[in-house]
Structure 1
């Protein structure tokens, strides 16, 4: 699984952002290390970042989340100081949203490149005037003859916001089929169902109809499970 190093000028800020991200996690979380503050105060320390990276040497890769530009400079220096050789990326995504989406994507089995792209995509998801590449039509598996499609209206009060999206992603990762979600009401999508950023980009509110499509050996079971989630309001029925 992909690990994370959280680099912040303030440890309380890092801990608060990480705590928010972990609210989306109900399983064993990915490995995370915090490297923040300099000599017990505000700032960043390249040596501490390098040490945090080395502590995650058993991870499949490491994504570094940073809060300010100078934290990026410290992270870049840390790449020269570290002793480990596993792949590392410095995210250019927003600190809070990027960390949250990246952690959820890591839990779904994403590669380092996929997790980094998910974190980066959260910035575009907030800019309604520009297209979000994560919301482009998802690449689907070749037709197998097992394609299943179903539609369900959202019944929970706030629709497909962060927590339901994370719940949906966690369910999707238990299946092997290629699964896509669209907002049949607005026409947005389809997006990959294992992408929290993509799901949020659908802008699906209460009453909107989600279209669920799946291709693969367990497509029928996957669609049934997702329909149950939607019908139950992701546990948030009024």
Structure 2
């Protein structure tokens, strides 16, 4: 199954978004939060993101979903085409779409595409 890593400057935001994604998609979907710095402050940590990737990697690929700024730069350091890919998507909506699609057994390309479709979702028509 494709794994997901939610990378945020905030430990709390990453953890809650991951919990929401697992709650909607199912607890069997490998979703990890990589939020904040090693000491729990605001920021990003390459070490935390690497640990999260290792935790969710089941051999089918890992999708990285960063929130903004340096989390994007950190995610780019870990990209491996076809194995670990970065999604340029809304943080929460992209995470939910990706988790649901991963839970249905889709491959990495399909999980990325589902996350990318979340950019077009309109709350008001």
Please give the TM-score of this superposition, normalised by the length of structure 2: 0.86
Unpaired stretches in structure 1, ≥5 consecutive residues:
129-202, 204-238
Counterparts of 1:24-103 in structure 2, within 5 Å, are: 24-25=24-25, 27-38=26-37, 39-79=39-79, 87-103=83-99
Task: Tell me the equivalent position of 1:105.
Answer: 101
Q: Which moved more, 1:119-128 or 1:30-39?
A: 119-128
Q: CA deviation at 1:48?
A: 1.8
SS in 2 for 1:23: helix
Instruction: Tell me the SS of whatever aligns to 1:33.
Output: strand
**RMSD (CA atoms):** 2.3
Q: Point out where structure 2 has 5 or more consecutive residues left out of the alignment.
A: none
Indicate the structure whose relative CO is greater, using CA pairs within 8 Å and at least 6 residues apart: 2
Q: What pairs up with 1:103-142 in 2 under 5 angstroms?
A: 103-126=99-122
Which structure has the greater CA radius of gyration?
A: 1
Kindly indicate which of the two structures has a greater share of residues assigned to helix. Answer: 2
Relative to structure 1, the CA distance from residue 62 to residue 13 in structure 2 (aligned partners, 3 Å threshold; closer, same or farther) is same
How many Å separate the matches in 2 of 1:15 and 1:67?
13
Q: Distance in 2 between matches of 1:4 and 1:49?
A: 11
Residue 20 of structure 1, CA deviation:
2.3
Task: Please give the alpha-carbon distance, in whole angstroms, between the structure 2 residues aligned to 1:16 and 1:33.
Answer: 10
